[in-house]
């Protein structure tokens, strides 16, 4: 996912982003408030060289370093333990006290940590007072406590800046992940690049919703409206050039007459260039919309699946070389099993007679009929702009491919005048 796409997801899911940031900030604040606190106090001891000492400056510095190491010794801290006003174990004191010689100076810093700020200060001061008695030199130093430790006003652990920085980084990561995940599930596809990414198939055309879905602009070659379907036909043929397709199922993701409009005009456009075309209305049953009008008493697809000869059910179309097979009347009889067992064989029979069979399938959201019809063939997906999420499109594309059907491409139906994307 590119940076601008992440930015778009963050903007579209800005309320979720704000919620994640607020919840994470509150969690960090609560965690810091409830975490055990440690306070750090520092006392400074000066170890000046005695004027009478014979030690060299380098030896004196080494002795100061050794003296600093003795600050956390068991013997010294056992003595300090007895002077404290609170109960502390020597083992705890050894991990709480540290001292170091400040290089290039005569100073030794004694640092003590405790959950009580007053105890931390007392401990640092008592170690600084006791440390001269453990001088490893032969009275080479004169000791002075230059800075007495004071009870710290704020705790040293947990580190507030580190907690804020870590919490901010965590909040940003969680916000981005949550926004992108939710955007992929809920945001609708409204442009060609998003559609291609979701389906894994090319965008073949971007058309507007027709004012009247019963019109057939492909009947009038040379017009701007007919040119839309000419370009769609060319794009479809180019996409299928490597593996020619003799059966194309045109199915919308959502129900609507625009799906039929696209399929019918595509069939006419194919017939206009000399292809023999059979347009099959695969929307058996009233729940799938208004069927293609048939001649009185003419059988349809349902009857062909039930055993009627295909030639008896086919009617002439509105242009030469185009024939139409209406849906037929299934009544209350089940037909789903016939689609799975008989439909492919009947279409193979039709493909032996016609160059191309265009099937108008039910909406993918309504049932699995369209993808069953596309098995051993290909499907052209009609997608309404701004109505279907990318996640739903990915799921539909995967389900189409799961039956061995090819997804030739998609047509994005917008709200503007018909046009083709290049």
Looking at the fold, whether 57 and 11 belong to one and the same domain comes out as no
Determine what percent of the chain is predicted with pLDDT higher than 70: 93
Matching residue, tokens 């170890």: 47
**28 and 61 within one domain:** no
Position 263 scores a pLDDT of 94
The answer to whether residues 294 and 210 belong to one domain is yes
pLDDT-based confidence at 239, cuts 50/70/90?
A: confident
Residues of the domain holding 364 = 190-414
Residue among 30, 49, 410, 404 nearest 196 (CA): 410
Do 16 and 43 reside in the same domain of the chain? no
CATH code (residue 244): 3.40.50.300
Average pLDDT of every residue of the chain = 88
Is residue 289 over pLDDT 80? no
Instruction: Compute φ and ψ for 197, nearest 5 degrees.
Output: -65, -40
Q: Are residues 175 and 97 in the same domain?
A: no
Q: To which residue do tokens 């909406």 refer?
A: 363
CATH of the domain at 133: 3.30.70.1130
Helices 192-199, 390-402: inter-axial angle, 10-degree rounding:
40
In this predicted model, which residue has the larger pLDDT, 327 or 293? 327
Contact 41, 151 (CB under 8 A): yes
In sequence order, what DSSP letters do the residues of 214-238 get, joined into one string? T--GGGSTTSHHHHHHHHHHHHHHH
What integer is the mean pLDDT of 185-194?
80
More confident call, 181 vs 399 = 399
In a domain, 152, yes or no: no
pLDDT score at 237: 87
pLDDT for 27-68, tens place per residue?
999 988 889 999 999 999 999 998 888 788 999 999 999 999
Token pair in block for residue 49: 């060289």
Q: Are residues 246 and 313 in the same domain?
A: yes
Predicted confidence at residue 386, as pLDDT, reads: 84
In a domain, residue 358? The reply is: yes
Domain count, the chain: 3
The set of long-range contacts for 207-211, using a CB threshold of 8 Å and a minimum separation of 24, is: 207/262, 207/411, 207/412, 207/413, 207/414, 207/418, 207/419, 207/420, 208/413, 208/414, 208/415, 208/416, 208/417, 208/418, 208/419, 209/258, 209/413, 209/414, 209/415, 210/258, 210/261, 210/418
> Is the whole-model pTM more than 0.75?
no
- Domain co-membership, 195 together with 322: yes
For residue 403, being part of any structural domain is answered with yes
**422, part of any domain:** no
Condensed to tens digits (0 to 9), the pLDDT of residues 346-357 reads 999 999 999 999
- 358-394: per-residue pLDDT in tens? 999 999 998 999 999 998 889 999 999 888 888 889 9
pLDDT in tens, 99-117: 999 999 999 999 999 999 9
Residue 1 has pLDDT above 60, yes or no: no
Are 19 and 66 contained in the same domain?
no
Instruction: Please say if the pLDDT value at position 249 is more than 90.
Output: yes
**Phi then psi dihedrals of residue 106, to 5 deg:** -105, 15
Q: Let me know if residue 150 belongs to a domain.
A: no
Whole-number Å distance between alpha carbons of 89 and 360? 84
| Residue 417 confidence class, pLDDT cut points 50, 70, 90 | very low
Question: 184 near 390, Cβ under 8 Å?
Answer: yes
Same-domain pairing of 215 and 332:
yes
Instruction: Say yes or no: 170 and 43 in one domain.
Output: no
Same domain as 209, residue 67: no
Kindly state whether residue 420 falls inside one of the protein's structural domains: no
pLDDT digits 0-9 by tens, 275-284: 999 999 998 8
In the prediction, which pLDDT does 18 show?
Answer: 93
Residues 229 and 367 in one domain: yes
């Amino acid at each position: 996912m590119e940076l601008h796409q992440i930015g778009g997801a963050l903007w579209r899911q800005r309320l979720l982003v704000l919620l994640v940031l607020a919840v994470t900030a509150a969690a960090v604040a609560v965690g810091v408030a409830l975490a055990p606190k440690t306070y750090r106090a520092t006392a400074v001891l000066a170890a000046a060289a005695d004027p009478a000492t014979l030690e060299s400056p380098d030896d004196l510095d080494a002795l100061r370093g050794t003296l600093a190491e003795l600050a956390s010794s068991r013997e010294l801290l056992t003595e300090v333990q007895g002077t404290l006003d609170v109960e502390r174990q020597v083992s705890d004191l050894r991990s709480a006290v540290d001292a170091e010689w400040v290089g290039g100076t005569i100073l030794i810093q004694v640092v003590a940590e405790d959950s009580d700020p007053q105890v931390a200060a007392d401990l640092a001061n008592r170690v600084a007072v006791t440390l001269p008695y453990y001088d490893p030199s032969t009275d080479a130093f004169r000791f002075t406590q230059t800075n007495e430790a004071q009870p710290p006003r704020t705790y040293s652990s947990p580190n507030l800046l580190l907690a804020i920085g870590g919490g901010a980084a965590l909040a940003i990561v969680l916000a981005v992940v949550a926004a992108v995940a939710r955007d992929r599930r809920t945001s609708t596809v409204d442009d060609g690049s998003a559609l291609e990414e979701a389906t894994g198939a090319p965008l073949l055309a971007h058309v507007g919703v027709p004012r009247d879905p019963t019109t057939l602009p492909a009947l009038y070659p040379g017009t701007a409206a007919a040119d839309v379907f000419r370009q769609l036909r060319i794009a479809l043929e180019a996409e299928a050039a490597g593996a020619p397709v003799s059966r194309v199922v045109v199915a919308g993701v959502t129900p609507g007459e625009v799906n039929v409009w696209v399929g019918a005009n595509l069939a006419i456009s194919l017939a206009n260039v000399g292809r023999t075309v059979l347009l099959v209305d695969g929307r058996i049953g009233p729940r799938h919309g208004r069927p293609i009008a048939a001649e009185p008493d003419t059988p349809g697809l349902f009857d062909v699946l039930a055993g009627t000869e295909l030639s008896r059910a086919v009617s002439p179309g509105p242009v030469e070389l185009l024939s139409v097979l209406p849906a037929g009347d299934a009544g209350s009889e089940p037909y789903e099993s016939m689609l799975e067992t008989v439909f492919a064989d009947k279409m193979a029979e039709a493909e032996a007679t016609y160059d191309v069979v265009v099937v108008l399938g039910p909406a993918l959201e309504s049932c699995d009929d369209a993808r069953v019809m596309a098995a051993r063939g290909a499907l052209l997906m009609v997608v309404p702009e701004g109505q279907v999420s990318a996640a739903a499109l990915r799921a539909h594309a995967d389900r189409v491919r799961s039956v061995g059907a090819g997804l030739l491409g998609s047509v994005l139906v917008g709200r503007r005048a018909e046009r083709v994307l290049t």
